[in-house]
Structures are given as C-alpha cells and as structure tokens.
Amino acid sequence: MSALPKTLEKIIDSLSSLPGIGRKTAQRLGMYMMKMDDDFISEFASALVDMKDNIYSCSKCNNFCESDICNICSDPNRNMNMICVVENPSDIILFDNTGFNGSFHVLGGLLSPLDGISPEDLSIDSLISRLDGVEEVIIAIGTSVEAETTSLYLVNLLKSHNMKISRLSQGLPVGGQLEYIDQATLEKSFTERVAIN
C-alpha cells in the first residue's frame, strides 16, 4: 500500500508513462505540482486539453499544426524543392534549428517488421504524392536498424524519380537517436550529407 493519496499516485503513474520520465522524476513532478497555486494547475490542465483538442497533423507534411496546413508548409519563403524526411514532428525542430530552409515530411515512425510496422503504417504514400518539382529528398532518420531499413526502402521507391536523394553524413553514432545528438554534430552531418543515388 502506498504512503501517497490515490489521486497523487494516479498523477505519478500518468507522468511516469511519458517517455524519458521514470518513477522518481514523476514523483518529484507530482510533489512539485502539489505546491503550485490553483491558477497554474488550472492553466496547465487547460493547456493539455487544448493541445489534444486543437493540434492536428498537417495534411501536407504530417507535422503538428492548428489548421489544415502547418506553418512551415504555408511559409512562402521556404524552398519547397527540398524535402527533409524525418521520423517524428520533434525532429523538425532539430533540423529547423540548423538553418535548413526547405520543407519537411514526417513519416510517423520507422519500418519494423518485428513490431508489425509496415510501409502502409507510415506516411510514405503522401511523401510520394509531393514529389512533383522536388529537386532533393534528404533522408534524416537516424542510424538504428529500423532507420536503415526505412532508408533503404525509401531509396528504392525514390530512385525512379529524377531527383537527388541524400542522407545525413556519418559522424552520427550507429543506433543513435537524433534528439540526443548535439547541435554542432547535427549541423555538420546535415551540411555534409551524402548523395545516395
């Protein structure tokens, strides 16, 4: 039996189910929230509900947005002739911070036969439908086994199109997650990307 009230235990359980948050961190966050004033807690809860109710996937690139098209896809100053293919919307922030001024496409995961994730489960068809006028597709999805499998699959699909296909240069650790790579390494890897075709 826990020494904590059930309601607080429920918050701790919810927080610890988030990626990167273990039980101890969840307990600290839960205890911290208990000290917060009512206005903060109300605003925080409201923001979570608003996020769930008002954030959608961009109909073009699959990024997060609050309307049909995200801020990047609707930006007339972006070079739409380049598409940087990423695994998740959070990866867009990483590459956008490198100064990349092209467009993005979010796959929504990686191919993983062991986990039952096939090409139909990813937004690959919508990527293919965006290729008219595109000069380069940059595959920027990391170096794990699943990422390598996905990269090979994409290259085989894309090579029949008349465009440059590139991927991040080496220097990224094998099996590494992009979100844990330092900014300088990521910028260098992106700038020195290598052509695949």
Q: Do residues 111 and 119 touch, judged by C-beta distance below 8 A? A: yes
What domains can be seen in the chain, in order of their start residue? 6-54 (1.10.8.420), 71-195 (3.40.1360.10)
- Pairing type for strands 194-195 and 164-167 reads antiparallel
Distance in Å from the first CA to the final CA of the chain = 61
The count of residues in the chain is: 197
Q: What are phi and psi of 167, to 5 degrees?
A: -140, 170
pLDDT, one tens digit per residue, over 37-81 is 999 999 999 999 999 999 999 999 999 999 999 999 999 999 999
Looking from the CA of 151 toward its CB, the CA atoms found within 13 Å total 19
Residue-wise DSSP of 62-107 = --EESSSS-TTTT-TTSEEEEEEEESSHHHHHHHHTTT--EEEEE-
| Average pLDDT along the chain | 90
- Amino acid (one-letter) located at 26: A
In this prediction the pTM is 0.78
